[in-house]
């Protein structure tokens, strides 16, 4: 759960999130920030946590603040 809260904090701070699948089936999120000094952080998450992050991003894009509990 620590990784999920870290990802949510970074997204709230304005980081861009990119989802990826590793070669062996591992799923994760790549967070990137900054324009001058580009930094990327990769965080591995469970599929349920990935779905939760995607729901939050989708709700944010749609303009609603509703997300999955």
pLDDT digits (tens, 9 = 90+) for 21-58: 988 888 999 999 877 777 888 899 999 999 999 998 88
How far apart CA 44 and CA 66 sit, in angstroms, is 24
Cβ atoms < 10 Å from Cβ of 42: 13
Q: What is the pTM of this model?
A: 0.75
Residue 50: φ, ψ to 5°: -60, -45
5 has a pLDDT exceeding 60 = yes
């Amino acid at each position: 759960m620590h990784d999920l809260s870290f990802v949510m904090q970074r997204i709230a701070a304005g980081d861009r999130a990119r989802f990826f699948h590793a070669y062996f089936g591992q799923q994760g999120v790549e967070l990137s920030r900054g324009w001058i000094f580009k930094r990327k952080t990769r965080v591995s998450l469970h599929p349920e946590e990935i779905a939760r992050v995607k729901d939050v991003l989708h709700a944010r894009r749609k303009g609603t603040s509703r997300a999955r509990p």
